Amino acid sequence: MELWKSYTMNLNGRLMVLDRPLVMGILNLTPDSFYALSRKQSEEEIAERVAQLVAEGADIIDVGACSSRPGAEDVPTEEEMTRLRHGLKLLRQVAPEAVVSVDTYRADVAAMCVEEYGVSIINDIASGQMDNRMFDTVARLRVPYILTHMQGTPDTMQAAPQYENVVHEVLKSLAANMKDLHEKGVADVIIDPGFGFGKTLEHNYQLMNRLEEFHLLNAPLLVGISRKSMIYNLLKTDPAEALNGTTVLNTVALMKGAHILRVHDVKACRECVEIVRKLTTCDFEGGSRFKV
């Protein structure tokens, strides 16, 4: 199976070519994200974080205002919109040309971010299952859509996730939703297996071990494992100590053909990408053993 294929995405009339792995940097506007150091709320904190993401080489900035950690308290739509308007206004002042995605499962929030602030990508952890208007809204907005697999909701997803075959079931679910999106006219779909979203530690590592099978869906592949519990629970640490494990798994994901890595630590991820690209493109004597 070929582990690397280039794709293109239409970003509000601007063509983005995915001919190399991209780094998506996280901007959290929440007071309760699982990784405390990623929480940014004051104007100064948000502006500094945006400047840092740009300086460290983020290709995309992913902005979220509603925590999706297991057991997270639900945020009213109005509050999510208020947080995003505050953050996106500052982001556009600091980095007006940045490619921005918004992390939301609500159709009205997605529309507001695209129409008022020129957001280019919708990142929905729920695959449209928490707002049945999402697919139609994305089709109307004509923006790329990140389709993430999640079993349950943030309130319930880690209670007792069960699968007979996690890889096959996640693939089947993503394929069915991709079909619906394409039939509605959504041209650019990015797939995300949803590490940590309704999966046990074993499920997560089974997905990573067979990540290359997701290329069967013929779509760009996003991996988001940054500082997640599949790292710190295995190593008996915490999110603050999970950067090394994140880099290891990002390397594995790149070797299996990931197109986009969603991370808290852009500099470390950018270095990881450059090293893996060197391994995969350098003309070593006898040829490179790595092909992505």
CA 238 – CA 228 distance, rounded (Å): 9
Residue 134, H or E segment: helix 134-141
**Distance from the Cα of residue 106 to its chain's centroid:** 16
Of 209, 185, 181, residue with least CA distance to 195: 209
In this structure, what token pair is assigned to residue 21?
């792995």
Asked if 262 and 249 count as a contact pair (C-beta separation under 8 A), the reply is no
- List beta partners, residue 17: 8
Amino acid in the structure at residue 36? A
Asked if 133 and 46 count as a contact pair (C-beta separation under 8 A), the reply is no
Of 14, 194, 183, 165, residue with least CA distance to 103: 194
CA 292 – CA 277 distance, rounded (Å): 9
SS3 (DSSP) at 203 = helix
In this structure, what token pair is assigned to residue 270?
């950018």
Asked if 257 and 292 count as a contact pair (C-beta separation under 8 A), the reply is yes
Active site residues: 228, 262
